[in-house]
Structures are given as structure tokens and as C-alpha cells.
């Protein structure tokens, strides 16, 4: 009976919101920032704010803290919000509320992050574009799409260009879908960091420094990233020099990287096309910097890679950025593989072997080139510390479940 009452209350609330909801229209013109910001402050649950086609120039950031609302434009190339003259605010648009839909507009040239979402339970970003129009520069904002500490995150049909960290970044969040989107000319095209339960599919990540990153880092409130599926994507022609500001961890990523998995568990990578990446198509690595975080586990485990298509890679390795490309170039004698695993596991596993359930699984065509290191042999100076037989890592794939998110 209690569940039935909750159901009826929800239905009644929905109809009350629908009846009271209103649509607000904003057109270009004088005081456009003030009019849009005022509308965002005065909106009530269920309202729709439509920003009409046109070019809008702002000196200040925008913020939204009302739940169950929609902000929409009339097309990502028709409703353009340009922050090139921004003097205040750390973002173009900041969202801190729940059950919000943002759709059909562009955010250009934000002073900091273009679109930041903090602590939202239910955020849909549909057919949006973020861009820094001056090309790749370290002075560009760090992130295009930047939901953090959020749940039920949907990024669909979006475009991200020119971010100095990641074009599409989802961090410390859970229940995530990133699909049908394009990330170009960023340092990292798409990055899932310290997050749980994510599907990343049907995206194009090209002309970035690196296409798709799945990272887990120490010293963050949520860590132990796991259950990430990366499939049906194109991570191709990632050939932009790394332009991250000094000190950023993505500043260590070499130009020409397709996909990187670092220190995550339960990652399934399948049906992707990786090609035209001058350093390496796919890297699976441990976190190698020192950390005092006793709860952090720096090694990837239960990574499954299968049924991907690999094109040319390793033809122009970036030996100037970070250590990955230099180390790989040295141990491979310049014969760069499609797939690289650094082989780093806890010391006990180096001696006794990995548990079967944590092993890397590679079910790829025999023509796929592969290289991994035996760390102990490498450190002791053995003449043959590398392994290149991909068939050693063949195994049974246990598919991860698809992700579902709550819609509204």
C-alpha cells in the first residue's frame, strides 16, 4: 500500500508540474546576460527556457540551481553563447541542480570550463557544442563537458573542441552514458575518471592528443573506477601535440594515442576502430607516480579487449612527452605495437603470478601486434624482458552489463 501511495503521489506531482510549467523565451539584444541569468534564477520546476537563435556575447558566467528544468536553444550552430569577453566566473555555465536537460546550443571560448555540472542527480546534455575557436592553446579552458560527483549522466550528440585537458570529461560519478558525440583537437578527447558504471559508445575521437582515456587517480573522494564499457567508437588520427598546462597529469600523455586504460578494474573494450595513432593504438598501464594514498590501488585488473579493428600506429611516436612513448620505443627497438601493457602488478603477483580472475584478456586477430614487459626481468637487465605473443592472453570474455540511467 505504501508503494502504491508513493506511485500516486509521483503521478500527481508530475501533472501538477506539467500544469504549472511555463516556457520562457529569450532573444538576442541588450542586457542579454542579465535577462538569461534572471530567467535561470526565477525558473520553477517544470519550466523550459528557450534561448532563441542568435549570437550572445557574455562578460560573466551563467549558473543554474533549479531542478527539473530544461534549457534549450534552437540548434548547436544557431544558438551561440560566446564567453570570449568573460571577466568573471570560472565557467561558462555552472549547473548544481538535479534532473536538468540542456540541449541545442553552443558554449564558446569560456574563460575556464565551458559547461560544469557538480553534484547533479540526473543531467542530460543533448546536441550541445563546446569550443575554443582559437585552436589548441594551453590558455584554453580545461574541460568542455565537465560533470563531476554526479549520477545518471547522459551526454548524447555533443561536440567538444579545443579543451586543454579533456573535451568530454566525467569524473567521480556513476551511471554514465557518453554516446554519438565528437571530440576533436583536445588534449584528451573523452575521459572517464574515478567513475563507476559507464558506457562510452558510437563516438568519434580524432585529432586529439589522445582519443579516449579511462583513468583512476589517487587522493580523490571517489576512487576505484570500475565497470566501464568502451565500444563501437572510432579513436583515429589523434595527432595533436600535447598542449596541456604544465603540471596536469594529461600533460604526460604522448601525442598519437588511441585509447589508454590506467588503474581501472572491470573495463571492456570492444568493436572499436583504432587507427592513425602515431604512438600507440591501445595502452593499458598502472599509475606510476608516488602517492601517500593508502587506499589507492594503482594497477589495472580484469581488463577485457576483444573484436577491435586496428589500423596503422606507432609510425610517429611522441618521444618528447612523458615517459610512456620513450619507454615503449626503447623496449620495442622502434617496432611499436598496436597494444601495449606495461606488465606492472603488485610485487607478490610478479613472483607468484596474477590470480586467474584478474588477468588481462586479449581476444584479437593474430595480426594484432602486442608487447608487454616482465618487470622483474627488465629491472634485472635480462636480455629478453618482453613478451609479444598475443595468444598467451586469450581467454573467456565475461561481458559487462549495459548501463541504464534514470531519465525524466
On whether the CB atoms of residues 192 and 179 are closer than 8 A, the answer is: no
Q: Looking at residue 379, what is its pLDDT?
A: 63
> 170 in helix, strand or coil?
strand
pLDDT along the chain (408 residues), means of 10: 45 50 95 97 98 98 98 98 94 98 98 98 98 97 98 98 98 98 98 98 98 96 96 98 94 97 98 98 94 93 98 97 92 95 88 89 96 75 79 96 87
Domain 112-393 has what CATH class?
Answer: mainly beta
DSSP 8-state assignment for residue 240: P
Q: Looking at residue 285, what is its pLDDT?
A: 97
Grid cell 595527432 in the structure block, residue:
239
Q: Looking at residue 308, what is its pLDDT?
A: 98
- 263-276 in b/e form (b: 16+ CB < 10 A) is bbbbbbbbebbbbb
Locate 59 and state its grid cell.
Answer: 562578460
On whether the CB atoms of residues 126 and 100 are closer than 8 A, the answer is: no
Locate 278 and state its grid cell.
Answer: 602515431
Cα distance between the two ends of the chain: 24
On whether the CB atoms of residues 93 and 123 are closer than 8 A, the answer is: no
Locate 138 and state its grid cell.
Answer: 594551453
How many CA atoms lie within 13 Å of 107's alpha carbon, on the beta-carbon side? 33
What phi, psi does 126 have (nearest 5°)? Answer: -125, 125
Q: Where are the chain's structural domains?
A: 112-393
Q: Looking at residue 6, what is its pLDDT?
A: 43
d(CA 316, CA 255): 9
Q: What's the chain's length in residues? A: 408
User: What are the distances in angstroms from CA 108 to CA 3, 82, 160, 323?
Assistant: 46, 5, 10, 33
| Other CB atoms within 10 Å distance of the CB of residue 25 | 10
Q: Looking at residue 16, what is its pLDDT?
A: 45
Helix-strand-coil split of the chain, %, nearest 5? 15, 40, 45
d(CA 370, CA 392): 11
Q: Looking at residue 383, what is its pLDDT?
A: 58
Amino acid at each position: 500500500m505504501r508503494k502504491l501511495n508513493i506511485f500516486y503521489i509521483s503521478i500527481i506531482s508530475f501533472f501538477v508540474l506539467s500544469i504549472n510549467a511555463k516556457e520562457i523565451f529569450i532573444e538576442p539584444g541588450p542586457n542579454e546576460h542579465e535577462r538569461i541569468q534572471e530567467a535561470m534564477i526565477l525558473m520553477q520546476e517544470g519550466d523550459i527556457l528557450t534561448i532563441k537563435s542568435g549570437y550572445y556575447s557574455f562578460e560573466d558566467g551563467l549558473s543554474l540551481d533549479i531542478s527539473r528544468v530544461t534549457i534549450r536553444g534552437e540548434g548547436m550552430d544557431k544558438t551561440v553563447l560566446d564567453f570570449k569577453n568573460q571577466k568573471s566566473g570560472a565557467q561558462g555555465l555552472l549547473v548544481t541542480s538535479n534532473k536538468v536537460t540542456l540541449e541545442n546550443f553552443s558554449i564558446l571560448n569560456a574563460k575556464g570550463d565551458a559547461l560544469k555540472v557538480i553534484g547533479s542527480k540526473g543531467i542530460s546534455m543533448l546536441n550541445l557544442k563546446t569550443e575554443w575557436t582559437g585552436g589548441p592553446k594551453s590558455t584554453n579552458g580545461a574541460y568542455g563537458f565537465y560533470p563531476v560527483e554526479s549520477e545518471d549522466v547522459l551526454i548524447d550528440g555533443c561536440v567538444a573542441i579545443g579543451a586543454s585537458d579533456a573535451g568530454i570529461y566525467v569524473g567521480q560519478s556513476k551511471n554514465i552514458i557518453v554516446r554519438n558525440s565528437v571530440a576533436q583537437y583536445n588534449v584528451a578527447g573523452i575521459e572517464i575518471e574515478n567513475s563507476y558504471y559507464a558506457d562510452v559508445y558510437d563516438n568519434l575521437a580524432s585529432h586529439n592528443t589522445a582519443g579516449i582515456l579511462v583513468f583512476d587517480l589517487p587522493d580523490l573522494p571517489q576512487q576505484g573506477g570500475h565497470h566501464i564499457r568502451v565500444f563501437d567508437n572510432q579513436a583515429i588520427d589523434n595527432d595533436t601535440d600535447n598542449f596541456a598546462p604544465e603540471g596536469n597529469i594529461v600533460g604526460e600523455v604522448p601525442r598519437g594515442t588511441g585509447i589508454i586504460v590506467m588503474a581501472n578494474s572491470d573495463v571492456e573494450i570492444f568493436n572499436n576502430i583504432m587507427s592513425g595513432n602515431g604512438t600507440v593504438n591501445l595502452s593499458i598501464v598502472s599509475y606510476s607516480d608516488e602517492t601517500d594514498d593508502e587506499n589507492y590501488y594503482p594497477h589495472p585488473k580484469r581488463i577485457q579487449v576483444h573484436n577491435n579493428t586496428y589500423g596503422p600506429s606507432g609510425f610517429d611516436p611522441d618521444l618528447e612527452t612523458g615517459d610512456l612513448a620513450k619507454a615503449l620505443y626503447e623496449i620495442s627497438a622502434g617496432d611499436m605495437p598496436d597494444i601495449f601493457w606495461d606488465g606492472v602488478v603488485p610485487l607478490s603477483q610478479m613472483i607468484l603470478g596474477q590470480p586467474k580472475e584478474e588477468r588481462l584478456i586479449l581476444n584479437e586477430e593474430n595480426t594484432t601486434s602486442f608487447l608487454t614487459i616482465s618487470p622483474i626481468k627488465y629491472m634485472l637487465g635480462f636480455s629478453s624482458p618482453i613478451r609479444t605473443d598475443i595468444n598467451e592472453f586469450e581467454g573467456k570474455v565475461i561481458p559487462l552489463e549495459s548501463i541504464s540511467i534514470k531519465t525524466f
